[in-house]
Structure 1
């Protein structure tokens, strides 16, 4: 890169990555914090394991359906307005979980929360593609994806502390956890309206020369292979479907573990879910942070995507499987490899659709692939609970997840390496 372009990219990193990271921490915490509340929440509300699994997964129903139109609306109305409104809405709904004290309220709020968050994650992927050149995108997405393990590293103790507030003000601990963590997202939504710029051309933090250099580079990447220009060029592409199925499998791995990890770790150490168990639960996410930082950077440096992604996902699958069968100490070590694998694979994975699509095809393609990921998120708790019930074994669900994850690694290896920007829009 030229000196001016390098300056523009560096400034953009410092401006956007902390913002994207902060919002992703809050988003991931608000969708996954029911895992910390699970034990006490089920006791207080009488929620069955099956209803919990349904509620954990139902988040992804509306999330799946609205991903594509949400990304197209963001392209039309601008990132600042769309992401700001989305964050405000999901924050209020996450806080409303504090009042979901019956099964129907639980299912209703989780469904609405999924609808509110539908535009956020694919919007962040699309935002990165509009601000960062392709050759730095894996490392940028790696830093963004650190939001998930950070949410669970920092959020585990935070959620544990809030759960310890049981009885304060006459409310259970999970009430305070949902309310406080949701309201943090509301504050972040207000911040977005003042902080975010819609596009590089409007960037307040770049000089005129830096804007010109960055826009020229991004336009040069977008105009390669510009023969296809319709949204259907993405959704009708067999490779996009292949990527969508892979992403669905990755999300089965992610949420099949995350929604149950606090109770799994608590059982391994012989404790109830609380502050002590939450500290141990944070350990795998520390390793996920390391993997998410180094693996995408190595992928950018070598230019290798497919083989690195496949190996990383394979490690995740093996880690999940070993955690089901080993002693408590070995199981926790295995969970560290699993968490590092299924989080770190995702920023490498997202260089594949963003490297072959542009324009409206990119916005729709990201939403389409993310839709399949949402299907995976819905299926994950169902698969785990159904396997445990069918085989009458608490390890059966983990072994099922492990097998599916290994199949995902094989599916990545089956991808053919395309010509750059083979589909555009």
Structure 2
């Protein structure tokens, strides 16, 4: 049985994770490339820091409002069709960003982009719970969310290089960046229709023995969750204080993730321009550099969490480290010190995310899982609106971002303390699972 289990998990991992990571890479790139575009776009279009912060964050208004119904639609129509729909529509809208003419077209398209992409990330999290038993989810979510720092490491230099097309056919380099980076989303959306499988029972790419082992294992886990926690119905999930508190925990790292994500190119530019580094490609390389440590940390930390079966401290530790990095970033003015501080902040933020998602998926099933995961993601992604907006307002008012970074650090500390409360509040701690063999 152990050989079947190992072979099945390996087969599922190689079949699903690389493709889903590629889709998420494009998602993240199309979501935050506006941060790199801002280096030239803000001056070309006359956007103030506050307006740019609003445009970066308004994405999350449409995203949050449409996320629960989008996740229910994914459950109804299947991942194959619904993820394809999401990717194709966001690709078209992202490409349209190349043709903005002023603040209203900028704000409108950012709002529409959030509506189009709503449900993608929580939908993938839900989808992965159909394929991976609980004891493998830490590393699985880690591999998937590893795409976030890798998108910065790889995507920032790509975005910088595309600025070199400035003037071709009369278009600015940032307009070419939006156009070219939107094409893969549409292409991958079409591929989804032919590549993804909705549920394990339909996986002809698994052997019969592998399908039987997987379906029986997943059914046994669902039955065990029902026995341990009771049947979690949709309305039960919405009334659950634990669910709302988990959303507040998620708010902490997300506000840090997007606060830095949208403003990182401009923060790095401020650190290095006095040393004569102004080339967009080199700025892209330096912008991606702090994410290298985050990528390495995610691989190690999620595997350690799966191996020990411990979740709460594997979540709280990175939250506190990320908060410390934010505080350090607020006071570092040298390029080396600033990049080290940003690296520490991003390690904490990124490493906490995959461990967090092992908590709600340990007790939510069915429609409750679809809406519960989306609801948690909605609450957390309010931070996606607040983070960029907070930095933009503070920067415009004070010409610095120190206060904003300290506020984000405080919210990450609060998230850590709420997680500790959740970890000790219940006799049956949902953060504990059976360690992987």
TM bin, normalised by shorter chain, reads over 0.9
Give the 5 Å matches for 1:19-418: 19-226=19-226, 227-270=230-273, 271-272=277-278, 274-326=280-332, 327-389=334-396, 393-417=400-424, 418=426
In the aligned structure 1, how far is the partner of 2:322 from the partner of 2:139? 20
In the aligned structure 1, how far is the partner of 2:394 from the partner of 2:323? 16
In the aligned structure 1, how far is the partner of 2:54 from the partner of 2:190? 32
In the aligned structure 2, how far is the partner of 1:157 from the partner of 1:147? 15
Gaps of 5+ in 1: none
Q: State the partner residue of 2:435.
A: none
> In the TM superposition, what whole-angstrom CA distance separates every residue of 1:293-328 from its partner, at most 9, and x where no partner exists?
111111101111101110111111111110121232
Kept in 2: contact 1:229–1:360 (CA 8 A): no
In the aligned structure 2, how far is the partner of 1:394 from the partner of 1:12? 44
In the aligned structure 2, how far is the partner of 1:421 from the partner of 1:401? 27
Per the normalisation by structure 1, the TM-score is 0.96
Kept in 2: contact 1:266–1:273 (CA 8 A): no
Call closer, same or farther: CA 1:414–1:391 in 2, change over 3 Å. farther
Q: CA deviation at 1:23?
A: 0.6
Kept in 2: contact 1:8–1:210 (CA 8 A): yes
In the aligned structure 1, how far is the partner of 2:132 from the partner of 2:410? 35
Kept in 1: contact 2:145–2:354 (CA 8 A): yes
In the aligned structure 1, how far is the partner of 2:110 from the partner of 2:291? 24
In the aligned structure 2, how far is the partner of 1:300 from the partner of 1:83? 28
* 1:205 partner SS: coil
Q: CA deviation at 1:209?
A: 1.1
Kept in 2: contact 1:34–1:259 (CA 8 A): yes
> In the TM superposition, what whole-angstrom CA distance separates every residue of 1:210-242 from its partner, at most 9, and x where no partner exists?
001001111111112423242111111111111
Higher mean C-alpha deviation, range 199-208 or range 219-228: 219-228
Q: How many pairs are equivalent?
A: 422
* 1:357 partner SS: coil
In the aligned structure 2, how far is the partner of 1:421 from the partner of 1:259? 34
> In the TM superposition, what whole-angstrom CA distance separates every residue of 1:337-371 from its partner, at most 9, and x where no partner exists?
11111111100000000012111111111000011
Q: CA deviation at 1:154?
A: 0.7
Q: CA deviation at 1:50?
A: 1.4
Q: CA deviation at 1:413?
A: 1.7
Aligned residues: CA RMSD: 1.5
Kept in 2: contact 1:138–1:347 (CA 8 A): yes
* 2:130 partner SS: helix
In the aligned structure 2, how far is the partner of 1:156 from the partner of 1:342? 18
In the aligned structure 2, how far is the partner of 1:352 from the partner of 1:52? 34
Q: Which runs of 4+ in 1 moved over 4 A?
A: 389-392
In the aligned structure 1, how far is the partner of 2:213 from the partner of 2:37? 49
Q: CA deviation at 1:385?
A: 2.6
Kept in 2: contact 1:71–1:119 (CA 8 A): yes
Gaps of 5+ in 2: 432-437
